[in-house]
């Protein structure tokens, strides 16, 4: 440290530390100007006295520093700051200050001081108090570029992923059963949106996933191109030759056919694992795949239904009528005799206090209906989404197990394309003992159903790829914003262009007044807006002198 460089010099009256030289220079200068030896003597004695005081202080600092060095504490570096601070504030002359600052900067061991706070003047306090202050103001160390370094960030993320891997190995599920995800799809505008989202979800599942994608209308390149980035254990892209009926009403029918086809594929290939009906537009939480690992034969999960316009609206109930029944509640507001309750839009099993399945809570997303019905009641059946059911693949193909009569009937149904009645997925739940209610009888909602589709006759570039730049712009059919005035939006304080033309005649290019930064005549019209820049206050000038741009 440079400041320590001064330590090595012995404190003598005339040449103390480096700053002492400057004082000496000053002193010499003044000395030379003096003629009488008396004045010389007085100046000399004054200088001697000053250097005595400073030298005394300096030697005290040095001894304390040496003492701290002995103890080997970190505070020695801090005391060195104190030391430089003493120098800084002890000297009152101008260039001595400069020198002390360079000294201070030189004594900076870290070389990273950007912001340094000058401590309060310790010289005066030192002379007044007998004790040395031990609590002092410290520098706040900020490095010159206080921003993240990308390499370090990458290393840190590597560390995080290693730790998470270890966590999974210790606390995660052992013996991960493979997941078989059956996804019906067909080519349409939003297919890219939904399918890539599902693809990323399935790629993140920490275990082997067999993804069966059944496409209506045969295997297409478009879908295949979307599936290229899937990191799944096995991908089966099947085509089901059938005409696509893209209307929203017919979509459940189509999807059911495709799903059943997927089940047939599982039967044919004798795949092992847990079958999950992963619709493309559903949102799956990764914990969902942990939850379904508990399935033995059949499992039922709760599906959160994100409906269309009316979801989230509260319903009013009389307080008296409330004390029966609904076991799930999310929030309620007291409203003088009636209560507003936000009903959860969830499709799932309803259990009694023993944990037995007694009924289903359904929400028909396609028809925006909310119904509850009990198990034996077949007449009032709401549609249940297949996504809420999970089954063991062996149930589909294993000979000797619960013979998949239901699968055969479903396959018959698919072959007869005229039937509009959907097969009931609950027919697989005949044997209640084999049904596992996952997620605490449906209390955990880790899967959400939502249907967002574009207009049926919307046109979009195939593969969502543009080969050539856009040339023709076809205005989309859209509703105009109701709160904006028609026409081009204009700022209130700007004059309209027509007024502009009348107000500003062409200025001569050679005249340039200060402050009236008018450009040449050619640029008048182009830069007319700049001239009217309200920040520069030109508008008022023009209003004052409407006929000329010259200022008087």
Instruction: Name which of 119 and 304 has its Cβ closer to other proteins.
Output: 119
Token readout for 163 is 């730790």
- Which of 10, 33, 128, 170 is close enough to bind other proteins by CB under 8 A? 170
Cβ atoms within 10 Å of 155's Cβ, excluding its own: 11
What DSSP string runs through 500-518? HHHH-PPPPTT---TT---
Which C-beta is closer to other proteins: that of 108 or that of 222?
108
Determine, following the binding rule CB under 8 A, whether residue 399 of this chain makes contact with other proteins: no
Residue from the set 52, 153, 499, 506 that interacts with other proteins by CB under 8 A: 153
Among 71, 455, 477, 486, binds other proteins (CB under 8 A): 71
Phi, psi of 476 (to 5 degrees): -75, 150
Check residue 437 and report its DSSP letter. E
Count of residues of this chain found to bind other proteins when the rule CB under 8 A is applied: 41
Task: Provide the 10 A C-beta neighbour count for residue 121.
Answer: 13
Q: Using CB under 8 A, which of 10, 38, 74, 399 touches other proteins?
A: 74
Q: What is the dihedral of CA 156, 162, 164, 170, to 10 degrees?
A: -150
- Our finding on whether 158 is near other proteins (CB under 8 A) is yes
Closest contact distance (angstroms) between CB of 131 and other proteins is 8
Q: Which is nearer to other proteins, 156 or 456 (CB)?
A: 156
Q: Which residues contact 500 (CB under 8 A, 6 or more apart)?
A: 528, 532
Q: Taking Cα atoms as reference points, which of 315, 329, 311, 274 lies closest to residue 450? A: 311
C-alpha distances out from residue 24 to 11, 37, 89, 121, Å: 15, 18, 19, 24
Q: 533: helix, coil or strand? A: coil
Are 168 and 206 within 8 A, CB to CB? Answer: yes
304 - beta bridge partners?
Answer: 346, 448
Helix (H, G, I), strand (E, B) or coil at 238: strand
Q: How far is the CB of 231 from other proteins (least distance, A)?
A: 19
Contact string (CB under 8 A) for other proteins, positions 103-122, x = contact: -------x-x--x-x-x---
- Specify whether the CB–CB gap between 184 and 216 falls below 8 A: yes
Nearer to other proteins, 166 or 403 (CB): 166
Look at the alpha carbons of 40, 45, 48, 50 in this order and tell me if their dihedral is positive or negative. Answer: negative
Contact status: 129 vs other proteins (CB under 8 A): no
C-alpha 12/C-alpha 48 separation (Å) is 10
141 touches other proteins by CB under 8 A: yes
Kindly state the smallest distance separating residue 143's Cβ from other proteins, in Å: 4
b/e code 472-492 from CB counts within 10 Å (16+ = b): eeeeeeeeeeeeeeeeeeeee
CB of 182 to other proteins, least distance (A): 27
Span from 126-134, 210-218, 243-251, 335-343 in contact with other proteins (CB under 8 A): 126-134
Determine, following the binding rule CB under 8 A, whether residue 125 of this chain makes contact with other proteins. no
152 binds other proteins (CB under 8 A): yes
Pick 289 or 360: Cβ nearer other proteins: 289
Tell me whether residue 75 or residue 102 sits nearer to other proteins (CB atom): 75
Question: Segment near other proteins (CB under 8 A), from 72-80, 360-368, 384-392, 486-494?
Answer: 72-80
Residue from 53, 127, 163, 248 binding other proteins (CB under 8 A): 163
The distance of closest approach from Cβ of residue 132 to other proteins in the complex, given in angstroms and rounded to an integer, is 11
Q: How far is the CB of 443 from other proteins (least distance, A)?
A: 16
Does 327 bind other proteins (CB under 8 A)? Our answer is no
Q: Which two tokens stand for residue 437?
A: 């209610």
Strand order in the sheet with 369-374: 283-284, 445-450, 302-306, 346-351, 357-364, 369-374
**Residue 134 binds other proteins (CB under 8 A):** yes
Contact residues: other proteins, CB under 8 A: 71, 73-75, 77, 110, 112, 115, 117, 119, 131, 133-135, 137-143, 146-149, 152-153, 155-156, 158-160, 162-164, 166-168, 170-172
């Amino acid at each position: 440290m440079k400041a320590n460089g001064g330590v090595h010099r012995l404190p003598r009256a005339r040449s103390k530390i480096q700053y002492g030289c400057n004082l000496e220079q000053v002193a010499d200068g003044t000395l030379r100007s003096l003629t009488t030896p008396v004045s010389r003597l007085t100046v000399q004695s004054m200088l001697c006295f000053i250097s005595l005081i400073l030298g005394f202080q300096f030697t005290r600092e040095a001894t304390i520093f040496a003492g701290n060095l002995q103890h080997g504490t970190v505070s020695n570096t801090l005391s060195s700051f104190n030391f430089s601070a003493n120098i800084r504030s002890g000297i009152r002359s101008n260039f001595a200050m400069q020198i002390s600052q360079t000294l201070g900067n030189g004594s900076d061991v870290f070389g990273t001081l950007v912001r340094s706070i000058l401590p309060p003047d310790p010289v005066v306090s030192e002379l007044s108090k007998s004790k040395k202050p031990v609590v002092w103001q410290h520098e706040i160390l900020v490095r010159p570029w206080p921003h993240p370094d990308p390499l370090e960030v990458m290393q840190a993320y590597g560390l995080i992923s290693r730790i998470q891997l270890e966590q999974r190995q210790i606390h995660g599920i052992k013996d991960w059963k493979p997941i078989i995800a059956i996804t019906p799809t067909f080519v349409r505008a939003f297919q890219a949106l939904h399918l890539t989202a599902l693809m990323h979800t399935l790629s993140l599942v920490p275990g082997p996933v067999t993804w069966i994608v059944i496409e209506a209308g045969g295997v297409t390149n478009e879908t295949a191109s979307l599936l290229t980035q899937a990191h799944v254990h096995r991908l089966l892209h099947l085509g089901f030759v059938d005409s696509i009926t893209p209307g929203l009403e017919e979509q459940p029918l189509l999807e059911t056919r495709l799903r059943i086809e997927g089940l047939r594929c599982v039967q044919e290939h004798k795949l092992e694992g847990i079958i999950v009906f992963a619709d493309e537009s559903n949102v799956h939480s990764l914990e969902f795949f942990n939850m379904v690992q508990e399935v033995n034969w059949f499992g039922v999960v709760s599906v959160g239904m994100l409906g269309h316009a009316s979801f989230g609206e509260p319903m009013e109930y009389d307080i008296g009528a409330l004390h029966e029944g609904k076991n799930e509640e999310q929030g309620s507001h007291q409203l003088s005799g009636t209560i507003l309750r936000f009903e959860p839009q969830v499709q799932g099993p309803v259990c009694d206090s023993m944990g037995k399945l007694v009924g289903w809570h359904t929400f028909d997303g396609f028809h925006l209906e909310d119904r509850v019905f009990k198990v034996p009641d077949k007449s009032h059946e709401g549609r249940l989404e297949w996504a809420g059911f999970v089954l063991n693949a062996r149930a589909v193909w294993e000979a000797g197990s619960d013979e998949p009569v239901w699968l055969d009937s479903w396959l018959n149904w698919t072959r007869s394309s005229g039937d509009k009645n959907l097969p009931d997925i609950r027919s697989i739940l005949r044997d209640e003992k084999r049904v596992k209610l996952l997620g605490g009888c449906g209390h955990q909602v880790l899967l959400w159903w939502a249907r967002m589709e574009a207009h049926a006759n919307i046109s979009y570039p195939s593969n969502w790829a543009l080969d050539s730049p856009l040339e023709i712009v076809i205005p989309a059919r859209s509703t105009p914003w109701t709160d904006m005035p028609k026409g081009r939006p204009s700022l209130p304080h700007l004059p309209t262009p027509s007024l502009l033309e009348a107000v500003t005649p062409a200025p001569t290019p050679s005249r340039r007044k200060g402050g009236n930064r008018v450009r040449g005549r050619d640029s008048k019209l182009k830069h007319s807006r700049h001239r009217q820049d309200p920040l520069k206050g030109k508008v008022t000038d023009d209003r004052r002198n409407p006929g000329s741009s010259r200022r008087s």
